[in-house]
Amino acid sequence: MKFAYRFSNLLGTVYRCGNLNFTCDGNSVISPVGNRVTVFDLKNNKSDTLPLATRYNIKCVGLSPDGRLAIIVDEGGDALLASLVCRAVLHRFHFKGAVHSVSFSPDGRKFVVTKGNLAQMYHAPGRKREFNAFVLDKTYFGPYDETTCIDWTDDSRCFAVGSKDTSTWVFGAERWDNLIYYALGGHKDAIVGCFFESGSLDLYTLSQDGALCVWQCDTPPEGLRLKAPAGWKADLLQREGEDEDEGKDEDEDGAERETTIRGKAAPAAEEQRGKVQYSRVAKYFFNKEGDFNHLTAAAYHKKVHLLVTGFASGIFHLHELPEFNLIHSLSASDQRVSSIAINGSGDWIAFGCSGLGQLLVWEWQSESYVLKQQGHFNSMVSLAYSPDGQYIVTGGDDSKVKVWNTLSGFCFITFTEHSSGVTGVTFTTTGYVIVTSSMDGTVRAFDLHRYRNFRTFTSPRPTQFSCVAVDSSGDIVSAGAQDSFEILIWSMQTGRLLDVLSGHEGPISGLCFNPMKSVLASASWDRTVRLWDMADSWRTTETLALTSDALAVTFRPDGAELAVATLNSQITFWDPESAVQTGSIEGRHDLKTGRKELDKITAKHSAKGKAFTALCYSADGQSILAGGMSRFVCIYHVKEQILRKKFEISCNLSLDAMEEFLNRRKMTEFGNLALIDQDATEEGGVTIPLPGVKKGRCWAATTTEGLLIYSLDARMLFDPFELDTSVTPAQIRAALCQRDFTRAILMAFRLNERKLLQEALESVPWDEIGVISSSLPDLYVEKVLEFLASSFEESRHLEFYLIWTQKLLMVHGQQLKSRVGTLLPAVQFLQKSIQRHWDDVSKLCDWNRYNMQYALAVSKQRGLKRPSEPPGSEEEADASEDDDSSMHLLRRGPGDGDGPLA
């Protein structure tokens, strides 16, 4: 239970590749991020990543019309049928080839996938349990090159398929007698999008060279005639008494004819007589004369007649069809627009730019952003949690510093003052100041109140900083130099350089202050860790000799132990007082690195050069979290020196070095195919280390995929505490009926069922909470606090739970201080929950207060002429006093009332 961490959320990356989708209500965007799917709730300002992952990067996502199911297809052709309601995988399927797009029919009965040069129509999975959720209905042939896009008519009778061979094909979901399948031309480049008009078979086609063709159909959808049954069906109607075996043979032949449908690029004139015919009525061009800009994405809203097109330069156009009137043209990004989606009402437009990892939601009528998020352009290399766990700050090689809200999952501020890669980030103990180090030779301090860079620390001569640390008081800032092997000390208040510490003979790889004493530990590549005493003029008190280069150093939360990660894959533990080694952990076999495509040696031999690059103690100091150049993050028991749990943070085979052995199919007589095709992977064959982890109820790691957050998940676990046969739900409810609240609460916590816990706590009258709190044993107080912290997330009884929290801390505060190490995660979780409610309520109260002040001021001015007296007269002074007296109710303190609010 203590290490039941599960994947919780993905931050730092908002879009990678694939198509965007809006949910049915139009309030959420579904975005593929690598091999995961993230849902951005625009109304509640929250992001949530589904707890599922594909084997490769996601290529396309198809959403059912009711918004309950999603078909997620990766680059390898593997598909997941996922439920967006229960957030689980229902079925897995392999399409045996790369799929470019997938689309459900509007009635939800069928879905079509484009694969290679054909289109396949499947029966949509129903709500009943089925042995095979994907049943192939028909296969459509016609295009000569890869198919690229799909669109359905409103009545689900026909669908259009665009291809790279510049043709568009209209196919029928049923066999229509007067609809023959032939190619619609008129373009000179690959088809990017094809769209039916609402309630019609009229068609719009867009090609990559920026051309739009308008096709008019001479037959309405109601004019399509169902083809008369032929073959075995006709025979079956005429001769029902035929031999069964004969019927079976004909069944097989007929089934083959029905499931495989082939179109003709240029049918004969006799075949077209009396059939549905298309004629091109207009052709428009997006590019002006002399200007050439590739059209890369398009979306069309049928009810509003709004066409949105995105281009390779990052520009997007809004046109009204069929007149092709330009509404406006704007630039969304510097890179190509990869995907566009429009919500159901036609108000919001989502843009995805894979080059920058950018996701934008634009409200075109008010010309304003609803959402604008972008991850780090290059790899994310460092992170730090705020003391209350509410924020995470990340630094990347793109010289940006981003601050993320762990509750909403959004980045709310980006600092761009650095001019080179950020190497280290940290919070001060107040949680409102961020200190960062960079390769540009500066250390900067940022204020989270005013969102500004208020201090810049520099060195006397140019140097590159590799790490940064701030002491517990927040007054002393230290940074390690990579090229001069020195440690520089500054004052946060004055910004002056206090001292330069010399003694190391190699680059500084890590710095850490002792949380309890004024001691700084510095790790270096010269195989030593030095302890510097701030109270004794920064003298070296101890030098710890290591067997290999030091890569990371950290103190235990109580400051009584020091952990060092070295290049030989070991973690060594030291007593900082006596400079004696107390233990070591061998982590080489736990890293399990993979083999890159261009590696000349095997994964087993390359693992010898791998090591942990980041360390972090748990809040109680009994466990340590370690990560490195591997897809695994390990939790070790410090005292027993054993592996407690290992987490695989990614299974994405689109990244390099994810497999232990090379694929034999890529080995040819001329060598590895990776040497020939350098652009085989978009990631460039680079795997990023995991340089940040954090303790408590959650931990996070910076990876190639983004910022991964793992949190304790106890929703589906039955974890009783000191349970015996006398503790049952019936006994708990009987105690509540007898008003024996203390015994009922204790029994509920022993059974540890959340519904019973909530029922027992909420049955206590608010004026008896103080008495019940004082009668609880100390052992159960921690459990009550953890339950209260989790209840703040979802309960509406805010004041009731705040009274519980206040009474528990007032009565048991002294006893809780003695166990501060074990209680720290629960208290931080509680503080984080209360802080979130305080932020929300304070904004609402301020807004109401200002509105009421404005309404009072307007009501006093109504019907009165403006006086001619100069400003500052006695009337204005009296009016301001009246305003203050009328608002005294809004300023009532917490002690003015005793009972809870109604």
Q: What is the pLDDT of residue 896?
A: 43
Listed range (254-263, 645-654, 871-880) with the worst mean pLDDT: 871-880
The mean per-residue pLDDT over the stretch 797-817 comes to: 83
Listed range (122-136, 140-154, 180-194, 537-551) with the worst mean pLDDT: 122-136
- Please report which confidence band the pLDDT of residue 452 belongs to, taking 50, 70 and 90 as the band edges: very high
- Please report which confidence band the pLDDT of residue 602 belongs to, taking 50, 70 and 90 as the band edges: low
Token pair listed for 661: 């052995």
For the beta carbon of residue 356, count every other beta carbon within 10 angstroms: 18
The mean per-residue pLDDT over the stretch 70-76 comes to: 92
Q: What is the pLDDT of residue 876?
A: 46
Rounded CA-CA distance 198/77 in Å is: 32
- Backbone φ, ψ for residue 811 (5° rounding): -80, -40
Rounded CA-CA distance 787/808 in Å is: 13
The answer on pLDDT for 901 being more than 50 is: no
Token pair listed for 287: 């590019």
Closest CA to 466 of 495, 446, 486: 486
SS (H, E, C) 361-404: EEECCCCEEEEEEECCCCCEEEEEECCCCCEEEEEECCCCEEEE
User: pLDDT: is 360 or 715 the higher one?
Assistant: 360
Residues 6+ apart with CB under 8 A from 183: 142, 143, 167, 168, 169, 263, 265, 266
The answer on pLDDT for 658 being more than 70 is: no
- Please report which confidence band the pLDDT of residue 64 belongs to, taking 50, 70 and 90 as the band edges: very high
Task: DSSP letter for 867, please.
Answer: P
E-strand ranges in 428-496 read 433-438, 442-447, 452-458, 465-470, 476-481, 487-491
Q: What is the pLDDT of residue 682?
A: 36
The mean per-residue pLDDT over the stretch 856-879 comes to: 62
The mean per-residue pLDDT over the stretch 556-584 comes to: 91
The answer on pLDDT for 709 being more than 50 is: yes
Q: What is the pLDDT of residue 607?
A: 56
Rounded CA-CA distance 695/11 in Å is: 18
The answer on pLDDT for 248 being more than 60 is: no
The answer on pLDDT for 238 being more than 70 is: no
Tell me how far CA of residue 618 lies from CA of 134, 156, 525, 647, 726, in angstroms: 46, 56, 26, 16, 36
The answer on pLDDT for 878 being more than 90 is: no
The answer on pLDDT for 523 being more than 90 is: yes
- Please report which confidence band the pLDDT of residue 676 belongs to, taking 50, 70 and 90 as the band edges: low
Summarised one tens digit per residue, pLDDT across range 39-55 is 999 988 888 899 899 98
E-strand ranges in 158-274 read 158-163, 168-172, 183-184, 191-196, 203-207, 211-217, 260-262
Listed range (239-253, 419-433, 771-785, 794-808) with the worst mean pLDDT: 239-253
Summarised one tens digit per residue, pLDDT across range 87-118 is 889 889 999 889 999 999 999 889 999 998 89
Q: Which range among 202-211, 672-681, 763-772, 838-847 has the greatest average pLDDT? A: 202-211
The mean per-residue pLDDT over the stretch 733-739 comes to: 86
Q: What is the pLDDT of residue 892?
A: 42
Q: What is the pLDDT of residue 241?
A: 47
Percent share of the chain, pLDDT over 70 = 81
Listed range (341-345, 387-391, 516-520, 898-902) with the worst mean pLDDT: 898-902
User: pLDDT: is 222 or 833 the higher one?
Assistant: 222
Residues 190/166, Cβ–Cβ less than 8 Å: yes
Q: What is the pLDDT of residue 290?
A: 61
Q: What is the pLDDT of residue 195?
A: 95
The answer on pLDDT for 374 being more than 90 is: no
Rounded CA-CA distance 436/251 in Å is: 73
Q: What is the pLDDT of residue 582?
A: 92
Summarised one tens digit per residue, pLDDT across range 270-329 is 666 668 889 999 999 988 766 778 999 999 999 999 999 999 988 999 999 888 999 988
Q: What is the pLDDT of residue 661?
A: 65
Listed range (252-256, 403-407, 429-433, 882-886) with the worst mean pLDDT: 252-256
Q: What is the pLDDT of residue 674?
A: 58
Rounded-to-10 torsion of CA 297, 302, 303, 304: 40
User: pLDDT: is 108 or 710 the higher one?
Assistant: 108
Q: What is the pLDDT of residue 875?
A: 46
The mean per-residue pLDDT over the stretch 76-96 comes to: 90
- Please report which confidence band the pLDDT of residue 160 belongs to, taking 50, 70 and 90 as the band edges: very high
Tell me how far CA of residue 217 lies from CA of 221, 275, 280, 463, in angstroms: 10, 11, 9, 70
What integer best gives the mean pLDDT of the chain? 81
- Backbone φ, ψ for residue 545 (5° rounding): -85, 130
The mean per-residue pLDDT over the stretch 638-653 comes to: 85
Closest CA to 594 of 704, 670, 510, 678: 704
Per-residue buried b or exposed e for 509-528, using 16+ beta carbons within 10 Å of the residue's own CB: bbbbbbeebbbbbbbbbbbb
The answer on pLDDT for 250 being more than 90 is: no
- Please report which confidence band the pLDDT of residue 622 belongs to, taking 50, 70 and 90 as the band edges: confident
Token pair listed for 682: 């978009």
